[in-house]
C-alpha cells in the first residue's frame, strides 16, 4: 500500500491530540486562575483549562464543563449549565486548588448551537430533550471526553474528585486512564423553566439528581 506522502514526498506529519499552546494569568471574580490553552488537533477545537492553585496529582477537584453559550453567557434558565459553571469555579477556589476544563465543541451535548436551538424550539412544543434530538435525526449525546483526559494528563493529574452528576463523564475518564476517586454532586436548585429538562436528564440520561424529589410542586 502506498504511504500518505506530502508534497515533497515525505510522510504526512499532521499533529494529533491536544497540544498545550499558552499559559496566561486570568483574574476572575472568583479568584486568580491560570488559563491553559490547548489546540485539539483531532477535532480542530480550541480548548482551555482553568487551573487554580497548586493542584498536585491525586484527588484533584475537577469539573469537565461542556460549552453552553445560552447558559454560560446569556443566563438561560432552560438548563442549569451557567449555575454549574459558577458553582464549580467557586468550589475550586474554596478548596484552594482545582481545575475547570471548559470543553468547546460540546454545545447542545455535541450537536452544535443552531441544532440545540432547533431542539429547544421542539421542546417548547412539548418534546423532551431526548425526543427533540432524535426528531432532528441527531444523537442524544455526541460528546467525547478524550481531549479532557489528555488535558488532565498534560497537567499531571492522575486522579480526580469529579464535580458531576453525569455517570458518563466518570466512565469516560476511566476509559482514558484518569482515576476517579470521588464523584462530587453539583446540584443546582431547579426552577419552573428547567424542571422538565432536569427530570428528563435523570430519567432518560441517568444523571444523579436526587434533589428533584423535593420539588414535586414545580410543573
Residues annotated catalytic, as ranges? 141, 143
Q: How many CB atoms lie within 10 A of CB 200?
A: 18
Partners of residue 204 on adjacent β-strands: none
- List CB contacts of 171: < 8 A, sequence separation 6 or more: none
- Report CA-CA distances (Å) from 121 to 49, 114, 136, 140: 32, 11, 11, 16
The rounded distance, in Å, linking the Cα atoms of 164 and 30 is 20
Give yes or no for a contact between 50 and 44, defined as CB atoms under 8 angstroms apart.
Answer: no
Amino acid at each position: 500500500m502506498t504511504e500518505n506522502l506530502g508534497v515533497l514526498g515525505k510522510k504526512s506529519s499532521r499533529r494529533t491530540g491536544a497540544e498545550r499552546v499558552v499559559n496566561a494569568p486570568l483574574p476572575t471574580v472568583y479568584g486568580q486562575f491560570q488559563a491553559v490553552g490547548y489546540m485539539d488537533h483531532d477535532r480542530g477545537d480550541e480548548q482551555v483549562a482553568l487551573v487554580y492553585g497548586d493542584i498536585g496529582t491525586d484527588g484533584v477537584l475537577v469539573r469537565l464543563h461542556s460549552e453552553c453559550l445560552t447558559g454560560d453567557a446569556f443566563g438561560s434558565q432552560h438548563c442549569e449549565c451557567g449555575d454549574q459553571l459558577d458553582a464549580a469555579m467557586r468550589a475550586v477556589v474554596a478548596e484552594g486548588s482545582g481545575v475547570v476544563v471548559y470543553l468547546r465543541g460540546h454545545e447542545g451535548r455535541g450537536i452544535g448551537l443552531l441544532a440545540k436551538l432547533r431542539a429547544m424550539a421542539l421542546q417548547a412544543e412539548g418534546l423532551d430533550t431526548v425526543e427533540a434530538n432524535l426528531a432532528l435525526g441527531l444523537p442524544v449525546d455526541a460528546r467525547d471526553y478524550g481531549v479532557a483526559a489528555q488535558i488532565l494528563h498534560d497537567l499531571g493529574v492522575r486522579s480526580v474528585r469529579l464535580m458531576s452528576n453525569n455517570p458518563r463523564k466518570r466512565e469516560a475518564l476511566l476509559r482514558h486512564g484518569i482515576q476517579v476517586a470521588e464523584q462530587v454532586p453539583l446540584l443546582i436548585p431547579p426552577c419552573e423553566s428547567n424542571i422538565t429538562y432536569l427530570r428528563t436528564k435523570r430519567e432518560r440520561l441517568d444523571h444523579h439528581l436526587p434533589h428533584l424529589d423535593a420539588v414535586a410542586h414545580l410543573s
